């Protein structure tokens, strides 16, 4: 071992401080970013043991417990709802089930919430990139009711609207319409949360999704008819929300109808030299997942976690590698992202997991690592505060300890790759960047951290490489 753990942590501390300064100085260079497609209202409820047990006892504990073992993946009764919540707590896993019944939707509304936040990857990133980083941001909102528009913070956040034939950009609050409220009910629980004899191995959330628009990747008229004009106004684009697609719908349309439109958008973005990032959320349907891998060559960059990477490896690799990826060890993950780059030719892959991030790029640049470090600070700030309001919140995260367990991986990487230095490895035609992340021990909430990581890294890398 070259340095002691203490020395390594000190080296990373210096890299963190420099990365923060470099990123913050460069971010004003970004002239415009587009975020599409999923925006919704997240209502957040922090679960209370007594309340939850009372509600479950009222409807019958046995029937709810049956759902824990045989998950329905969708909600048309209270048993499904509470069974889903308990399953998520038991496994400590994030889950999202669609609410089919109007009666349950009413129940969820009446149950109430602690906080309202803008939701959906696009919505969350808009408040961060526009509201905190002050980058001019165009965001797609499938619906724009007042309740949702009011959740966008002030700042250069815009939705396109038609004034006659002309496309104008205005803040969502200036374009409110009497449209549907697309509500996702998010039930958060901390590590160790106990209900009956079930205990959460880690903090996480269960989402009851009562939103018929994002479920079909509904695109509003301005995006269907005015996309070329939108593409001309930005330098960067982040695409998300395609994870919900199904093979076919009751009206005879299929996922292909949506993907054709997405591909035409990507063609426009590429025509105007807009760099695009795809946020690869977990996609349950295997065929849709295959098709999403198929469109990756049209993107500049992709972001994913271990579950998403394993689900891709199941298709382009084999079961053994997929299993190893899920276990989180760094070498199989490096093999998997190299495989993904071989298969798709995409130029940048950003992998994030609890404790460390990797970025594999077809180019060499220290800014790739600095962007990951900046993203790790943003993630820690998001975990601490729930909502990042100012860049100072991100600076505060410099005091969060760096994950010591990832330092073991760093040592292993150093043994394997002799030219490994300051988190960067030259792999002949590719560069691999590795950073140990900041970990917040008792996060306020977990939703949206992944979005914060991927968007912060993508835009800050672009900004720093531009300057």
Pick one of 107, 196, 354, 417: the residue that binds ligand AMP (CB under 6 A).
354
Tokens of 108: 């969820």
Residue carrying the six token digits 């069974």: 83
Segment contacting ligand GLC by CB under 6 A, of 129-137, 225-233, 268-276, 447-455: 447-455
By CB under 6 A, tell whether 241 contacts ligand AMP. no
Structure token pair of residue 333? 């993950």
Q: Which of 124, 151, 269, 304 binds ligand GLC (CB under 6 A)?
A: 124
380 is an interface residue for ligand AMP by CB under 6 A? yes
**Closest chain position to ligand GLC (CB):** 119
User: Of ligand GLC, ligand AMP, none, which one does residue 443 interact with (CB within 5 to 8 Å by kind)?
Assistant: ligand AMP
In this chain, which of 258, 371, 443, 455 binds ligand AMP, going by CB under 6 A? 443
How many CB atoms sit inside 10 A of residue 72's CB?
Answer: 17
Contacts of the segment 353-356: beta carbons below 8 A, 24+ positions apart:
353/305, 353/306, 353/328, 354/328, 354/439, 355/328, 355/403, 355/405, 355/406, 355/436, 355/437, 355/439, 356/330, 356/403, 356/406, 356/409, 356/434, 356/435, 356/436, 356/437
Binder of residue 431, out of ligand AMP, ligand GLC, none (CB less than 5 to 8 A by kind): none
DSSP state of 72: -
Place of tokens 């997942």: 289
Which positions from 372 through 401 interact with ligand GLC, judged by CB under 6 A? none
Applying CB under 6 A, what is the total number of residues that bind ligand GLC? 15
Measure the CA–CA gap between 217 and 214, rounded to whole angstroms.
5
Site membership for ligand GLC, residue 119 (CB under 6 A): yes
Q: Binding segment for ligand GLC among 76-84, 215-223, 338-346, 442-450 (CB under 6 A)?
A: 442-450
Q: What is the largest CA-CA distance in the chain?
A: 68
Which of 184, 216, 369, 382 touches ligand GLC (CB under 6 A)?
Answer: 184
Residue 218, helix vs strand vs coil: coil
6: DSSP letter: H
CA 434 to chain CA centroid, Å, is 19
| CB of 40 vs ligand GLC, minimal distance in Å | 6
Task: By CB under 6 A, name the one of 359, 379, 394, 413 that touches ligand AMP.
Answer: 379
Choose which of 448, 456, 459, 463 interacts with ligand GLC (CB under 6 A).
448
Confirm whether 451 is a catalytic residue.
yes
Strand order in the sheet with 33-36: 166-170, 157-163, 137-139, 33-36, 236-239, 275-279, 301-304, 348-353, 356-361, 430-436, 424-427
Which member of 42, 211, 370, 451 is catalytic? 451
Q: Which one among 188, 235, 306, 451 touches ligand GLC, defined by CB under 6 A?
A: 451
| Cα–Cα dist 35/457, whole Å | 15
Beta-carbon-side half-sphere exposure of residue 282 (alpha carbons within 13 Å) = 11
What count of Cα atoms within 13 Å lies in the side-chain half-sphere of residue 265?
A: 29
**Listed ranges 51-59, 172-180, 259-267, 446-454: which one lies at the site for ligand GLC (CB under 6 A):** 446-454
Q: Which stretch binds ligand AMP (CB under 6 A): 134-142, 147-155, 167-175, 376-384?
A: 376-384
CA atoms within 13 Å, Cβ hemisphere of 329:
9
Q: Is 122 in the site for ligand AMP (CB under 6 A)?
A: no
Q: In Å, how far are 32, 148, 434, 440 from 382, measured between CA atoms?
A: 23, 20, 21, 10
C-alpha dihedral over 75, 80, 86, 89, to 10 degrees? -20
Cβ at position 113, least distance to ligand GLC in Å: 13
Kindly report whether the peptide bond that precedes residue 392 is cis, defined as omega within 30 degrees of 0: no
Footprint of ligand AMP on 305-344 (CB under 6 A): 305
Residue 120 touches ligand GLC, criterion: CB under 6 A: yes
308 makes contact with ligand GLC (CB under 6 A): no
Which option in ligand GLC, ligand AMP, none does residue 120 bind, with CB closer than 5 to 8 A by kind? Answer: ligand GLC
- Shorter beta-carbon distance to ligand AMP: residue 67 or 358: 358
Q: Which is nearer to ligand AMP, 40 or 305 (CB)?
A: 305
The one of ligand GLC, ligand AMP, none whose footprint includes residue 439, by CB under 5 to 8 A per kind, is ligand AMP
Closest approach, Cβ 281 to ligand GLC, in A, equals: 6
Out of ligand GLC, ligand AMP, none, what residue 440 binds, judged by CB under 5 to 8 A for its kind, is ligand AMP
Q: Which of 104, 125, 73, 79 is nearest to 246 (CA)?
A: 73
Cβ-based nearer residue to ligand AMP, 418 or 441: 441
Residues that bind ligand AMP (CB under 6 A): 305, 352-354, 379-380, 383, 437-440, 443, 446, 449-450
Residues that bind ligand GLC (CB under 6 A): 38, 40, 42, 96, 119-121, 124, 184, 207, 209, 447-448, 450-451
């Amino acid at each position: 071992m070259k340095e002691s753990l203490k020395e390594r942590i000190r080296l990373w501390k210096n890299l963190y401080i420099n990365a923060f300064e470099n990123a913050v100085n460069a971010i004003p260079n970004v002239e415009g970013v587009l975020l599409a497609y999923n925006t919704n209202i997240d209502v957040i409820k922090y679960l209370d043991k007594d309340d939850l047990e009372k509600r479950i006892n009222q409807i019958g504990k046995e029937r709810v417990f049956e759902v824990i073992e045989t998950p329905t993946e969708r909600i048309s009764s209270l048993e499904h709802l509470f069974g889903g919540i308990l399953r998520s707590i038991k496994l400590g896993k994030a889950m999202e089930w669609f609410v089919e019944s109007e009666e349950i939707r009413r129940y969820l509304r009446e149950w109430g919430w602690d906080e309202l936040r803008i939701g959906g990857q696009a919505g969350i990133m808009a408040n961060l990139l526009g509201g905190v980083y002050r980058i001019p941001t165009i965001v797609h909102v499938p619906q724009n009711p007042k309740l949702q528009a009011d959740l966008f913070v002030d700042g250069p956040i815009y939705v396109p609207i038609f004034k006659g034939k002309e496309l104008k950009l205005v803040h969502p609050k200036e374009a409110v319409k009497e449209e549907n409220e697309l509500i996702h009910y998010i039930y958060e629980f901390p590590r160790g949360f106990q209900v009956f004899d079930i205990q959460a191995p880690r903090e996480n959330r269960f989402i009851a999704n009562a939103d018929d628009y994002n479920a079909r990747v509904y695109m509003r008229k301005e995006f269907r008819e005015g996309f070329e004009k939108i593409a001309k106004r930005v330098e960067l684009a982040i695409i998300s929300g395609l994870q919900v697609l199904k093979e076919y719908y009751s009206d005879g349309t299929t996922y292909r109808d949506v993907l054709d439109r997405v591909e035409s958008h990507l063609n426009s973005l590429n025509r105007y030299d807009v760099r695009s990032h795809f946020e690869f959320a977990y996609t349950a349907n295997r065929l849709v997942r295959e098709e999403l891998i198929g469109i990756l060559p049209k993107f500049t960059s992709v972001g994913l976690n271990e579950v998403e990477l394993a689900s891709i490896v199941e298709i382009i690799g084999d079961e053994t590698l997929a299993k190893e990826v899920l276990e989180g060890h760094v070498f199989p993950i490096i093999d998997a992202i190299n495989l993904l780059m071989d298969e798709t030719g995409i130029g940048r892959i950003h992998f994030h997991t609890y404790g460390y991030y990797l970025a594999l790029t077809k180019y060499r640049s220290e800014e790739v690592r600095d962007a990951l470090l900046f993203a790790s600070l943003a993630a820690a700030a998001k975990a601490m505060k729930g909502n990042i309001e100012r860049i100072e919140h991100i600076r505060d995260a410099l005091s969060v300890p760096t994950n010591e367990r990832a330092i073991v991986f760093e040592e292993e990487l150093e043994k394997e790759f002799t030219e490994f230095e300051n988190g960067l490895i030259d792999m002949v035609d590719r560069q691999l960047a590795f950073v140990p992340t900041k970990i917040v021990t008792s996060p306020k909430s977990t939703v949206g951290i992944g979005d914060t990581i991927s968007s912060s890294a993508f835009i800050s890398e672009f900004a720093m490489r531009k300057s």
